[in-house]
């Protein structure tokens, strides 16, 4: 499995428009963060998690040539607003792209992006997508994918666990936009080779883990390796990297991890 961090920034992106703080003015490319999303490569197939606002620039920056399926975590704007970019992949692949998520997420996307699913021609191109509501583990291109309920403030959303079968199965989980992990979900997160976890900033936030929360959860779950994501502009890459325990690192846009 090849995991590419397409974006690791919170909903505004970093730098923040108009902000003059040290991180927003930093010349370190690792302090430039597009909206949070990952790409999971398995053989010839690429599975995208969320269609972030910056999907267009993320595909160009990371030379993404195929998107064979999309998994949605939830329907906040920063995680879905790049959906129209999928039509380029329909042209390239000459096929409909399946998208997956909870029943509520699929219903929301059908309603909010009605132009995509409306059969009446509207002129201009539009994505060709097939919605799939999921709640249990399913198979996609040989990967086993388990949607896991996680809490984003009071909103239950999906994280995803991926298992690549083999002599020594590879286990990876992606939990963005998370402020609490239900015990049931924690049980499914044992023995991970790699975990990506939300850590918005150091200060308390009602709907996201802080760096301290995330570090504590990682110490409990003990994955082989972990990366933090969904940072705001209070997080300086180098400063955070120097302060984290061994085995935990801050994500940056374009980071690639192969397991
Ligand atoms: Zn700033
Ligand atoms: Zn969110
Ligand atoms: Zn978010």
pLDDT tens by residue, 89-117: 999 999 999 999 999 999 999 999 999 99
Q: Is there a contact between 3 and 255 (Cβ–Cβ < 8 Å)?
A: no
pLDDT at 120: 72
Q: Which residues have a beta carbon within 5 Å of ligand 1, which is an ion?
A: 16, 19, 21, 24, 233
Supply the pTM of this predicted model: 0.97
State yes or no: pLDDT of 12 exceeds 70: yes
Q: Is there a contact between 226 and 218 (Cβ–Cβ < 8 Å)?
A: yes
Ligand index nearest the alpha carbon of residue 152: 2
pLDDT in tens, 149-193: 999 999 999 999 999 999 999 999 999 999 999 999 999 999 999
Q: Which residues have a beta carbon within 5 Å of ligand 3, which is an ion?
A: 78, 177
CATH architecture type of domain 2-258: 4-Layer Sandwich (3.60)
pLDDT at 125: 86
Distance 134 CA to ligand 1 centre (A): 38
Ligand index nearest the alpha carbon of residue 231: 3
Residue 119's pLDDT band (cuts 50, 70, 90) = confident
Domain boundaries, the chain: 2-258
Residue 133: strand pairing partners? 101
What Cα–Cα distance (Å) separates residue 232 from each residue in 11, 50, 195, 209, 241?
Answer: 8, 18, 20, 12, 15
Ligand index nearest the alpha carbon of residue 36: 3
Ligand index nearest the alpha carbon of residue 24: 1
pLDDT at 122: 64
């Amino acid at each position: 499995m090849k995991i590419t961090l397409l974006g690791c920034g919170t909903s505004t992106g970093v730098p923040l428009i108009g902000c003059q703080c040290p991180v927003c003015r930093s010349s370190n490319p690792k302090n430039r963060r597009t909206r949070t999303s990952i790409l999971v490569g398995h053989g010839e197939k690429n599975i995208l998690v969320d269609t972030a606002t910056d999907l267009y620039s993320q595909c160009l920056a990371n030379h993404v040539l195929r998107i064979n399926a999309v998994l949605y975590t939830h329907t906040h704007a920063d995680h879905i607003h790049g959906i129209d970019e999928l039509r380029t992949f329909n042209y390239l692949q000459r096929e409909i792209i399946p998208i997956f998520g909870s029943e509520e997420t699929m219903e929301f996307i059908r309603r909010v992006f009605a132009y995509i699913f409306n059969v009446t021609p509207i002129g201009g191109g539009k994505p060709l997508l097939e919605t799939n509501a999921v709640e249990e583990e399913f198979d996609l291109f040989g990967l086993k994918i388990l949607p896991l309920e996680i809490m984003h403030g009071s909103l239950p959303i999906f994280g995803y666990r991926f298992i690549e079968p083999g002599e020594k199965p590879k286990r990876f989980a992606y939990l963005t936009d998370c402020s609490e992990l239900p015990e049931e979900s924690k049980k499914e997160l044992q023995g991970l080779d790699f975990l990506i976890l939300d850590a918005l900033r150091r200060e308390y936030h009602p709907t996201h883990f802080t760096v301290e929360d995330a570090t504590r959860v990682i110490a409990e779950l003990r994955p082989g390796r972990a990366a933090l994501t969904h940072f705001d502009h209070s997080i300086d890459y180098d400063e955070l990297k120097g302060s984290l325990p061994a085995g935990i690192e801050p994500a940056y846009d374009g980071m690639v991890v192969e397991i």
